[in-house]
Chain A
């Protein structure tokens, strides 16, 4: 492996890149921190938002004509799935509370799968 390390120019190039990455990144970040770049990026974002709106409206109509789901339909579906997940989470919470209540009610004989609650009496180890 060490031979390969010495002889492999691609590996040597990779190592050089990894070592000098910070400097390259810093140069790039300095360029992006420039006032003109910030303005350009802001303008690009506005245009991208405008294009996004125009394109999604026209595409939605086109997809509806083809009887295909649009991004909006997928988002609606995702929202509904998220609501189902919320409901499942609520059931999980209720189940846990129920289990806790049952365990407290029959504390003399806790369910075998449930570990008894630990005592909250731990002290920090003495520092010598």
Chain B
């Protein structure tokens, strides 16, 4: 007797999955696998927008291209004398406040300093006529007064970075009785003979600074950036290759991209400031000859008598030590010191080297002079 076999149950029909869903799931699986195995491919770039300049701050004063910020104190007891950091007009201030743990500003606030910063915004055409006098005797002077009033103190310590250091020196020399307590300059250009490439370019008769300023009004940031890149033309390419070699190191990738972003983020410069910088400083080298004018006043760095610290970087290619080492001799202070640390123009103040090399030295110098 032939047994009757029950008809085989038909397998349930496979649910129809849209092709888009399959693509999406495959893409997710690939992304997850890549993210697990190759950390560098996690693309840290998008969140970099959020993690620069994170130390809490408030805007205290705004005028022309100047923005004065006050960093909120984090301790219950702070040093008496407030610190005012003057950034270079061609660079954004977040290089000093890159990320928590890598921020000079955060470090100073945590050491108990009352920190203010003059940061600059991109000048517009209406700012094209702002020259050295407008910066030194106008904006910086006003910023110091605002800091003194805000902190309720008569004395202020100035800390200038690069061209901000130059502006701070000019201010200190022209206003020796302005309530300045200390002056600190980071890698500050004083002797144009040490900046050979720029000097060669601007001394050429074919370089017409007046025409450049009249045509453009405001010198574009790209032009400033290109002139800085020219000092080490292959550095950027080398950085990119180094980034590839360290793509599996998340911390390296993040730090590198932050620096890279800042380096490409140059501010434009008011034409008049550029013209005066070229004429008075690069061509005339007048700080060395003693003939540097701000308005009608001649600058004599010997009139700076407050405690003075100059910090230079041994491998700085933007402001080589040959361009900055005369500063310590020209300043008239009795209490003066120069520190030369290993590093470059930027790694002097930011990055791993700065954390261990410069910051503690800066604190040791400032602390006894801030009470």
Chain A interface residues toward B at CB < 8 A? 1, 11, 14-15, 17-18, 21-22, 24-25, 28-29, 32-33, 35, 38-43, 45-46, 49, 52-53, 75, 78-79, 82, 85-86, 89-90, 92-93, 96, 115, 117-125
Contact = CB atoms under 8 A, between A and B. Distances in A.
* Interface band, chain B: 35 or more
B126 A38 contact: no
Given A96-B58, A120-B78, A18 B245 contact: yes
A120 B237 CA distance: 48
Contacts of A24: 233-234
Contacts of B5: none
Interface of B: 58-62, 67, 72-73, 75-80, 112, 114, 121-122, 124-126, 151-153, 196-197, 200-201, 203-208, 211-212, 215-216, 230-235, 237-238, 241-242, 244-245, 248, 367-368, 370-371
Contacts of B233: 24-25, 28-29, 32
Specify which of B76, B216, B248 lies most central, judged by the most chain A CB atoms within 10 Å of its CB.
B76
Contacts of A53: 215
A40 B235 CA distance: 24
A124 B245 contact: no
8 contacts: A45-B208, A78-B124, A82-B124, A96-B58, A118-B75, A119-B78, A120-B77, A123-B371
B206 A39 contact: yes
Contacts of A78: 124
Given A32-B197, A79-B125, A42 B76 contact: no
Contacts of B197: 29, 32-33
Contacts of B241: 14, 17-18
Given A93-B62, A118-B73, A124-B367, 7 more contacts: A21-B235, A24-B233, A38-B203, A41-B204, A82-B121, A82-B122, A93-B59
A96 B59 contact: yes
B230 A29 contact: yes
Given A17-B241, A122-B112, A33 B79 contact: no
Contact of A90 (B62, B76, B234, B367): B62
B179 to A, nearest CB: 15
Contacts of B78: 118-120, 122
Contacts of A42: 201, 204-208
B318 to A, nearest CB: 12
Given A32-B230, A93-B59, A122 B200 contact: no
B62 A41 contact: no
Contacts of B235: 21, 25
Nearest to A13: B241
A46 B151 CA distance: 49
Closest 6 pairs between A and B when the two form their complex, measured CB to CB: A42-B206, A124-B367, A21-B238, A89-B62, A38-B204, A42-B207
